[in-house]
Structure 1
Amino acid sequence: MKKILKGKFDRLRQLSNASGTFSALAIDQRGSLESMVQSSMPEGVYTGEYAKEFKRLVSKELTPYISAILLDKKLGISAISAKSDTCGLILSYEKAGSEVFSTPGKIPEILLNESCKRMVDFGADALKVLVYYNPDDDFDVLDKKHAFLERLGNEARAAEIPIFVEPLVYDNTVTDQGTKEFAKLKAKKVKATVAEFSKSKYQIDVLKIELPFNYKYVESFVEKENSTVLYTKEEVKQDLIQIGELASCPIIYLSAGVPTDVFRKELNLVNNSGAKYSGVLCGRATWQDGVSIYATEGAAALTEWLQTTGKQNVQELNKLLDHGATPWYDIYGGLDNIEVVEQSY
């Protein structure tokens, strides 16, 4: 019997759809989104208000069709106010990834002016924390990240708010993650990371993970005769199944910035493998094509795009989830095998 605190249980239900899966949209990008919008505008035009409006419009138009949205409080306050009441709210709880990635050891940091309790009081249904993770790193680096997650888990338990942890794998020698060399390492690193973060000491509620392959080198994606095939479809299938078996908490997949049609093909691969997963937290694959439309044609044009293409992007993903994702509570044996408990101090 799996015991889950009532606050966490109620919020996980709020964040998932009627089928018990997570159809979630990520638009918590901060500096990277500002750069995307600014680069599409004439020089000297951009202000931070444009990124805020972009998020607000995405939230207003797409949240009626998803179970949860991931936002930030730096640029996303108006987007939070604009979301549908039926859509759960996940808030970023860490410094932007760009601020951490270039630092020694890539040690994660929590926003200094926030706490789990403050986020709960603000209305969050869950918190998301990104952690750059290399399972082959030096002990000192790993120990700091493990301790960070243990503290985070205890704080979230006290506030009874679910934690979505997003581990992004890297290597200290092969630093270009788009290369064949890194693609050869990726599946092993993702599996080792899932195995580590599934340990009960971290109290992670949902793992938001990368797909364990680079689609450019998968047998079914390679189009040119001189392209390199690093993974057969059978190898990908086995990696996905093993990840599902290693996880002791629900896992959801991120889109990692790939084009919309590519992410659909990737999810089809997951579905056809029969591997266990409980949904997606999809970002740029859903809305990135709207950035240039907004920057060059304005809010009305973006609204029209969101109401048509953006909505279709979401609905196509929802169809894929209907065919392959399993309820988050199935990893615990189903709702009948969960005991909802009150907090004890």
Structure 2
Amino acid sequence: MTGHVDALSSLSPFGERLRALANADGAFCLLALDHRDAMRNAFARIGIEDVSPEMMLEVKGRIADALGVQASGVLLDPAAVEWCRPRDGGVLMPLEAQGYAPFAGGRVSRLEFSAADVAALGGDGCKLLVYYRADHPPTAWQQWELIERAAADAHAHGLPLVLEPLVYRLEGETDYPFGELVVAAARDLASSGADLLKLAFPGSAEASRELTAAADWVLLGGGETDRDSFAAQLEIAMSAGARGFIAGRPIWGGALGLDETEQRKWLAEEAVPYFGRLVGITHGRRLR
């Protein structure tokens, strides 16, 4: 996955399918809306409990309506695909089950969906989130096997795999070298069969360049990152050679506690300009 040239097809044998998820600049500017329990938890943090699946779909639909035009693609869970499918951009869909199984002080991910499910719904690519610690062999080898299996499944259906390795604290840890572990994950998983990595900001421009040296990657936007911080991270990541971003809550999180009218207003006045700002950061930087 290393090396950067103009053609997206250089990314992997599945570059033409990745092209469906990129914009005219060749940058990936994806809106993440595949949240399930994560969205319920986001509602709970602002005091809204008992969020129904219908309510989640309605909110996701408003977000997709407001932002889908600017996005090169949307990351959607299967339940939301028909409700929120963008008119023009591509659709990326998750394979992982929510949560994880504890094992030897670490975490092991599981699959819930298959590439056949993604293909049947007209998706353009598969996304797999895995909890990954390169320095924890008891779980790393299990996650590696899961990734290889998911990549083979995706490729057998003509679909690319976007891999999202999340580093985390092991049981009993009070601190851990986050940035170093993000870089270690990229180095480990560059040859796993995944076509593109979705990675957390590793903390610096130098570490971001190490990610680029290891693999083709996009920046993920986690729920703990505020909007200005994420934009600053994206500036650094793109300058270091990242291929774009896949982000959700930093973009639309402020809409969750509002009624429908105020939600639409906030999305139009706050989220749309902010998403445009992020797209502007990527403009002209990817193809060089």
RMSD (CA atoms)? 2.3
**Which residue identity is paired with 1:307?**
A
SS in 2 for 1:16: coil
**Which residue identity is paired with 2:34?**
D
Q: How much has 1:103 moved relative to structure 2? A: 5.8
Does residue 67 in structure 1 map to residue 72 in structure 2? yes
* 1:103-114 aligned within 5 A: 105-111=106-112, 114=113
If you compute each CA radius of gyration, which structure gives the higher value, 1 or 2? 1
Equivalent pair of 1:67/1:87 in contact (CA under 8 Å): yes
Aligned partner of 1:237 among 205, 208, 227: 205
Q: How much has 1:100 moved relative to structure 2? A: 0.8
In 1, the alpha carbon distance for the partners of 2:48 and 2:214 equals 49
Instruction: State the identity %.
Output: 23
Describe the superposition over 1:153-210 as per-residue Cα deviations: whole angstroms up to 9, x where unpaired: 111111110111000112426646xxxx43xx122211111111111xx221110001
In 2, the alpha carbon distance for the partners of 1:122 and 1:48 equals 19
Aligned partner of 2:277 among 313, 316, 326: 316
Does residue 256 in structure 1 map to residue 261 in structure 2? no
In 2, the alpha carbon distance for the partners of 1:84 and 1:255 equals 20
In 2, the alpha carbon distance for the partners of 1:276 and 1:3 equals 13
In 2, the alpha carbon distance for the partners of 1:20 and 1:277 equals 11
Does residue 187 in structure 1 map to residue 179 in structure 2? yes
Describe the superposition over 1:232-286 as per-residue Cα deviations: whole angstroms up to 9, x where unpaired: xxxx222111221121xx2000112211111112223334xx3111000011100
In 1, the alpha carbon distance for the partners of 2:116 and 2:49 equals 41
* 1:46-57 aligned within 5 A: 46-57=51-62
SS in 1 for 2:87: coil
- Structure 1, unaligned stretches of length 5 or more? 214-235, 331-345
Give the match for residue 167 of structure 1.
165
In 1, the alpha carbon distance for the partners of 2:218 and 2:12 equals 19
In 1, the alpha carbon distance for the partners of 2:235 and 2:134 equals 28
Equivalent pair of 1:60/1:83 in contact (CA under 8 Å): no
SS in 2 for 1:64: coil
* 1:72-91 aligned within 5 A: 72-74=77-79, 76-77=80-81, 80-91=82-93
* 1:326-341 aligned within 5 A: 326-327=286-287
**Which residue identity is paired with 1:72?**
D
In 1, the alpha carbon distance for the partners of 2:114 and 2:249 equals 27
Bigger fraction of residues in helix? 1
CA change 1:19–1:170 in 2 (3 A) is same
CA change 1:43–1:192 in 2 (3 A) is closer
SS in 2 for 1:242: helix
Give the match for residue 270 of structure 1.
237
Q: How much has 1:47 moved relative to structure 2? A: 2.8
In 2, the alpha carbon distance for the partners of 1:57 and 1:212 equals 32
In 2, the alpha carbon distance for the partners of 1:281 and 1:308 equals 21
SS in 1 for 2:34: coil
Aligned partner of 1:285 among 250, 253, 258: 250
**Which residue identity is paired with 1:155?**
D
- Structure 2, unaligned stretches of length 5 or more? 1-8
Give the match for residue 22 of structure 1.
28
In 1, the alpha carbon distance for the partners of 2:101 and 2:250 equals 22
* 1:10-159 aligned within 5 A: 10-38=16-44, 40=46, 46-74=51-79, 76-77=80-81, 80-96=82-98, 99-100=99-100, 105-111=106-112, 114-138=113-137, 140-159=138-157
**Which residue identity is paired with 1:164?**
V
**TM-score normalised per structure 1:** 0.74
CA change 1:86–1:143 in 2 (3 A) is same
Equivalent pair of 2:43/2:49 in contact (CA under 8 Å): no
SS in 2 for 1:84: coil
Greater shift, 114-123 or 251-260, is seen at 114-123
Equivalent pair of 2:108/2:131 in contact (CA under 8 Å): yes
SS in 1 for 2:154: helix
Q: How much has 1:323 moved relative to structure 2? A: 5.3
SS in 2 for 1:25: strand
> Which structure has more RCO (C-alpha within 8 Å, separation ≥ 6)?
1
In 1, the alpha carbon distance for the partners of 2:196 and 2:67 equals 23
CA change 1:62–1:83 in 2 (3 A) is farther
